[in-house]
Chains A and B, each alone.
Chain A
C-alpha cells in the first residue's frame, strides 16, 4: 500500500466518522426536540419550586428554569428592556399590578392567552383581577392572575408584651379598627418602648392607607394625572405625616439591608404586610425568631397592595408550551400551592374557598390562620386603578415622606415637591 492510498483511506475513514458523528448529533437533537426549556422570569418570591417539579414530572420533555430578581424595583426596568428590545424575556414573565397598565398600552408584546384556551378560565379568577389584564374590548388577555396582595398587619409579640399591649391576635386586631386607632396604639407603644419603631417606614403605611382610599390614586381612569386634585391622596399624606410627627417610624427604608435585618433584630414592632410579604419576613427573621412574629387584621376595611400576573411575551419561541405552563401555575391548584409555599394569596375564588386555604395556619407565625385573615381582607376588596407611571410616582412620594421623616423638609414643602416631581415625570 503506497503512502498515497493510505492517506486516501485515512481521509475516507475520517470523513466517514465525521458523517457518523454529525448523524449522531442530528439524532440527539431529534430526540431532544421534545426537550423544551421554559424560562420563567420572576421577582421576589412566587413559591413555584414544587409546582415546577410536578409539572416537569407530568410533562416529559419540558424543563423549567426560573430566573429570579429579588427587588421589584430592579426587575421592572429589566422587564421593560427585555420587551422593548425583543430579547431576554424568556417564555413566561411575571408582571406586578403596579406596572401592568403600562404594558396594557402595548398588548402586542404579549401572546393573547385567549388563543391558548384561556377563554373558559375567567371564572377561575376574581372578576376585577381578570379584567385588569384584559384589553377594554375584551378581545385580548395578556396575563393570568397569580396572587392578590391581601392585606394583613404583622407584629412582634415579644415587643408588644414588653410595651404592655395585648399579644393575642384577636385582641391586637381590636386595637386598630381604623388607622386613627393604629396611631393611638403606636403612641402607647412608643411611650413604653421609645427606642423601637412602631412601624418600619412611613412609606409602607402610607401605601397601605392609599390603597384603601378609593378606586384610583395618582391617575384617573383616563390616565390623567390627578395627584393634586384627588383629595384621597392628600388625606392619606396628611395622616401619614401625623404618624411621622408622633415619632412612630423606625425610618428604615423598605428593601434595604437594614430593613431585612430589622425583622431579625426587632427594630420595628409592626409592619403592614400584604400576604406575599410573609415569605419575606420568614426568610429575613430566620428560624430563631419563629413564633415572635404574628399576623392580624389590617386597620380599615381590607385592602390590596400588589399582586401579580403571568404573561407570555411574543418573543418566546415556545409560546404554546409557555401558555400551558401559565395556565397550570395560575390554576386554582397552582395558586393554592403557591399560597402554601409562600403565602401568596390566591386570586382564584375556588382557591380562596378551598379548605386548604381557608384552614391554612402558618406555623412560622404562631399558627396564625392566615387563610382566614387574608380571605376576609380580600372579600372587602375594591380594586384600585393604577396608572402608567404609578410605581415611579410612588417612589417619588415615598422619597418626599422620607425627607419629612429625616426632618429635612416641612410636610407642606415635601408635598409640593412630590406633586412637582410627579408632574415633571408624567409630562
Chain B
C-alpha cells in the first residue's frame, strides 16, 4: 500500500511510461543524491516520532523494568533483588484488590458508555434541527477538566448533602454512603467516566456511520427491515473498525484510571481509595507505593504489571471484537 504513495524512482516511471524519455545526459552524483533522497527521506520525516517515542516512551519503559529489579528507595538505587518485587506483588492482597477494582470499574465504565455512544451517534446521524450544535454539544464534557469533573461529582455523590441522595430521598430510599461500598463507589466513579467520554466515542461512531453508503439502508427498507434491524444489521457491522478502536482505547484509559477515584476519595489519605481500599485503582496503588511510601522498586513492578495487563486485555479485546463478525 504505502509504496503506491511514494514518488517512484525515475527508472520505474520510465518503464511504466509508454514512450521512454530521452536518457539524461548527466547521470553523475546529482542523480545518485536524488535517488538516495527519494529512498531515504520518508524515514527522515518519521524520525521525530521515533526519537520522541524512544526518549519518552521506550526509555522509561525499559528503565522502569530496570528499577523494578532493585530495592530502590528515595535515596536511590539499592541492591539488585531480581524478581523479589514481583514475587511480593503476587502475594500482595492490596495489589490484587486494586486490579479487581480497576477491572470492575472498567466494565462499569466501558460497556454502558459505548452502548450509549452508539445510540447517541445514530440519533445524531438523523436529520435534526441544529445538528451541528448538538454534535458539538456532546463533545463539551471532554473539554472540561478531569479535576473539575471529579470535584463536582464528588459533591453530587456526597453522603450527607449530595444531589443523588437527595433524589433518592424523594422516593424514600435511604441515603447511600457512596464511599463505603465497592458497588456504590464504582458506580459513582464510572458515572464520571461515562459522562466525560460518551460524547467523544459517539462522535467517532458518527464519523464512521456517515461513511456507510445510503443505498444499503434504502435496499433494506425495500426489503422491509425496520430501523432497529437496520441498526444492528447494517450500521453496527459497518462501523466495526471504529468499535474495535474505541473498545481498545477505553480499555487502555480504564486501566489507567487515576484522577477521578483520587478526587472522589477524601482526607489526607485519599490515595488509599476508601477505608478498605474499596475504589483504589491499580495506578493509584502504584502511586501510593512509589510516591508515598517511596518504594520505587515496588512501584515500578506495579507499573510493569499495569503494562502487561493492558497488553493482555488489548489482545483479548482485539480477538473478541474481530471474531464477532
Stretch at the interface among B10-18, B28-36, B140-148, B265-273: B265-273
A81 an interface residue at 8 Å Cβ cutoff?
Answer: yes
CB distance from A408 to the nearest CB of B (A): 6
Among A73, A251, A267, the residue within 8 A (CB) of B268 is: A73
A-B contact count (CB 8 A): 70
Q: Is A253 within 8 A of B266, CB to CB?
A: yes
Residues in B with CB closer than 8 Å to A253 are 266-267
* Residue B177, interface by CB 8 Å: yes
- Look across to chain B and name the residue whose beta carbon is closest to the beta carbon of A74: B268
Chief secondary structure at chain B's binding surface = loop
For A252, list chain B residues within 8 Å (CB): 160
Interface 9-mer from A124-132, A219-227, A351-359, A397-405: A397-405
In this assembly, does B75 line the interface, its C-beta being within 8 Å of a C-beta of chain A? Answer: yes
Of A27-35, A148-156, A254-262, which binds chain B?
A254-262
Give the residues from 102 to 156 in chain A that come closer than 8 angstroms, CB to CB, to chain B.
Answer: 106
Structural contact, A255 and B74, CB atoms closer than 8 A:
no
Q: Is the CB of A258 within 8 A of B272?
A: no
User: A71 — nearest CB in chain B belongs to which residue?
Assistant: B268
A330 to B179, CA, bound (A): 42
A77 close to B (CB within 8 Å): yes
Does B154 sit within 8 A of A, measured CB to CB?
Answer: yes
Q: Does B294 contact A (CB under 8 A)?
A: yes
Q: Are the C-beta atoms of B160 and A399 separated by less than 8 Å?
A: no
In the complex the two chains form, what is the Cα distance from A76 to B141 in whole Å?
Answer: 34
Instruction: Determine the chain B residues whose CB is within 8 A of the CB of A395 once the complex forms.
Output: 268-269, 272
How long is the Cα–Cα vector from A72 to B160 in the complex, in angstroms? Answer: 26
With beta carbons under 8 angstroms apart, the residue of B161, B267, B275 that contacts A408 is B275
- A80-B74, A392-B293 known; A406+B275 contact, CB < 8 A: yes
How far, in Å, is A202 (CB) from chain B's closest CB?
11
Interface string of A55-87 (1 = CB under 8 A from B): 000000000000000011110010011001000
Nearest CB in chain B: distance from A6 CB, A: 41
Are the CB atoms of B160 and A81 closer together than 8 Å? no
Q: Mark B149-161, 1 if CB is under 8 A from A, else 0.
A: 0010011001111
Residue of B151, B266, B292 touching A258 (CB-CB under 8 A): B266
Q: Which residues of B contact A255 (CB under 8 A)?
A: 266-268
Q: Are A408 and B180 in contact (CB under 8 A)?
A: yes
Give min CB distance, A288 to chain B, whole Å: 18
Against B, the Cβ 8 Å flags (1 = close, 0 = not) of A251-290 are 1111111110100000100000000000000000000000
Q: Which residues does chain B contribute within 8 Å of A163, judged by CB atoms?
A: none
- Given known contacts A77-B292, A84-B74, A392-B293, A403 and B268 CB-to-CB distance under 8 angstroms: no
User: DSSP class of A's interface residues: helix, strand, loop or mixed?
Assistant: helix
**A252 vs B275: C-alpha distance when bound (angstroms):** 12
Q: A399-B275, A406-B177 are in contact. Are A254 and B267 (CB under 8 A)?
A: yes
The answer to whether the Cβ of A51 comes within 8 Å of any Cβ in the partner chain is no
Residues of chain A within 8 A of B155, CB atoms compared? 257
Complex Cα gap A389–B74 (Å) = 15
Q: A400 contacts B275, CB within 8 Å? A: yes
B73, closest chain A residue (CB): A84
The distance in angstroms between the C-alpha atoms of A256 and B264, with both chains bound, is: 10
With contacts A267-B160, A403-B276 known, is A254 near B268, CB below 8 A?
A: yes
Closest 10 CB pairs of A and B: A73-B268, A253-B267, A256-B266, A402-B275, A84-B74, A406-B180, A395-B269, A403-B275, A253-B266, A399-B275
A–B pairs, 12, beta carbons within 8 Å: A72-B268, A73-B267, A77-B292, A84-B294, A251-B159, A252-B160, A254-B268, A256-B266, A257-B154, A257-B155, A402-B275, A403-B275
Given contacts A257-B154, A258-B158, A258-B159, 15 further A-B contacts (CB under 8 A): A72-B268, A73-B268, A77-B292, A81-B74, A84-B294, A255-B268, A257-B151, A257-B155, A259-B267, A392-B292, A395-B268, A399-B276, A400-B275, A408-B181, A409-B276
